[in-house]
Amino acid sequence: MFKKLISSPIMIAVLLALILILWLFSGDNYSAKQQAPAEQAVAKQQLVQVETRWSTAEPYQLTQVAQGQVLPWRSVSIKAQQAGTVIQLLTDQGDTVKKGAKLLRLSDEGRAALLQQAKANLTLKQDELNSAQKLGKSNFLSETELTRLESELAKAKAEFQKAQLAVNQVEPQAPFNGVIDRRHIEVGDVVQVGSPLLQLVQVDKLKVTAQIPQQHVAALQLGQAVKLRLLDGRALQGKLSFISYAADKATRSFYIEVTVANPQMLRIAGGSVTVEIQLSPVATHTISPALLSLDNNGNLGVATVDEEQRVVFYPVTILSADNKGARVSGLPNKVQIISQGAGFVKTGDKVQPIGTKA
C-alpha cells in the first residue's frame, strides 16, 4: 500500500514540491547569514521654499519731535522789601527798562532821618577812635578801651549800611534789561514786605523747554540746530543749550532747553511749540508692513535668510510709515528678506530661497 502511494504521480509531485521549498529556504537562510541586508533608500528631505528679495540699507535723517513750552529768558517778580505806601509809579506795563532803572517809589516812613542819624553816629565813632589811637601811642589809653571803641565803630558802620539799604529799597530797581509785563499795585496802595509789585521779563531772547525720551538723548549734542514750530505755523530756529544729566523719575525722559533769539520781541512766551531736533542719520530699509511679525518674546521684527540659507529673525524699530512702506532700522546693511512663506518656517530652519536677485 505504501509503495503504491509513493509510486502515485500526485505523491511524487508533492514530495518534489516539499524538497524544492526546503532547498529554497535553506538557500535564503544561508545567504542571509553570509550577506548583510541591503540598505533601504532614505528619501532625501525636501527643503521648504520661500520667496525672498534683497534689500540694501539707505541713510535716513531721523528727527526727534517733542512738545515744548516757550518761556521768557528771564522772569522775576519784584516784591516789596520795605513796608510803605506807593506814592509814585515810574514805569507802566509794557515799558522797556534798563538794568538799574528805578521802577516806583514808596513812602519814606522816616528812613531818610534814620540814615542821617546813622551817618552822624558813624562820624562820631570814627572821631572817637582816631583820638583814642593818638592817646594810645602815648600810653594814656589801655588796649581794652581801644578795642571797645573799635567795636562801637563797627556797629555804627553796620547801622549806617542798614539805614542806607532801607532808603534805597523804597525805590525798587530793575535787576536786568527787560519789559514790565504786569503791574500789581497802584498809587496809594499800602504794601508790606514781600508784597508783589511788578513782573519783569526778558523776551529779546527766549527759552524753550521739552522732554526727550531716554533712548534718543545719547544722539543729542549741545549747540546743534533745533527747528521750532508755533501753533500758528510760524517757524523759528534755535540752538540746544542744555541737556539734563538725570532723567525724570516718573517719565524716564530728559529735560532740555533750547535758546531762541527774539529780536522782534514776538509775543510768544508762555505758548506751546513743537520741537524738531535732527539726530544722526541711521541705516534703514523700506519694507511692506505685511513683512513684519512677532517672535516668541513678542518682539517686532523681520524674517530673513543668511548665507547658509537659514532663517534669521531680526528685531526692528519702525521709524516712519507712509504709502510707500514702513522705514525700519535694526537690519544689516544688505539682507535677504523673506517676502513669501515666512509663516511656514521658524528661526534656524534651512530653506530654499527662490526668486532672489542679489
pLDDT bracket for residue 199 (50, 70, 90): very high
- Contact, 264 vs 206, CB < 8 A? no
Give the position of cell 546693511: 333
Which residues on neighbouring strands pair with residue 198, listed in sequence order?
Answer: 78, 183
CA distances from 57 to 287, 289, 293, 330, 332 (A): 11, 17, 20, 10, 8
> Cell numbers 524738531 correspond to what residue?
276
Q: How far apart are CA 280 and CA 282, in angstroms?
A: 6
Give the residues across from 320 on adjacent strands.
327
The pLDDT of residue 27 is above 60:
no
Give the residue among 201, 224, 331, 342 at the shortest CA–CA distance from 275.
224
pLDDT score at 12:
63
Q: Predicted confidence band at 143 (pLDDT cuts at 50, 70, 90)?
A: confident
HSE at residue 68, side-chain half, CA atoms within 13 A, is 33
Among the listed residues 320, 310, 312, the one whose alpha carbon sits nearest the alpha carbon of residue 285: 320
Q: What pLDDT is attached to residue 170?
A: 95
- Residue 303's DSSP bridge partners are 313
pLDDT digits (tens, 9 = 90+) for 150-179: 899 999 999 999 999 999 999 999 999 999
pTM, full prediction: 0.66
In the CATH hierarchy, which top-level class contains the domain 50-59+282-354?
A: mainly beta
- Looking at domain 64-71+199-278, its CATH superfamily turns out to be Efflux pump adaptor protein, beta barrel domain (2.40.30.170)
Instruction: Please give the angle made by the CA atoms of 132, 138 and 143, to the nearest 5 degrees.
Output: 50
Instruction: Please check whether the two domains, 50-59+282-354 and 64-71+199-278, share a CATH topology.
Output: no
**Among residues 254, 261, 217, which one has the least CA distance to residue 238?**
261
Report CA Rg, the chain.
48
State what percent of residues in the chain have pLDDT above 90: 66
d(CA 202, CA 178): 4
- Strands 292-294 and 178-183, how do they pair? unpaired
Element (H, E) at 292: strand 292-294
Domain ranges of the chain: 50-59+282-354, 64-71+199-278, 78-191
The torsion angles phi and psi of 80, rounded to 5 degrees, stand at -70, 130
User: Which of 175, 214, 215, 203 lies closest to 259, judged by CA?
Assistant: 203
Strand-strand pairing, 48-56 and 351-354: parallel
How would residue 1 be classed by pLDDT, with cut points 50, 70 and 90? Answer: very low
Q: What does the alpha-carbon distance between residue 83 and residue 86 come to, in Å, rounded to a whole number?
A: 10
| Contact status, residue 317 vs residue 62, Cβ threshold 8 Å | no
Percent of the chain predicted with pLDDT > 70? 85
Beta strands per DSSP E along 61-153: 63-79, 84-89, 96-97, 104-106
Distances (CA, A) of 336 to 202, 220, 326, 351: 58, 33, 17, 12
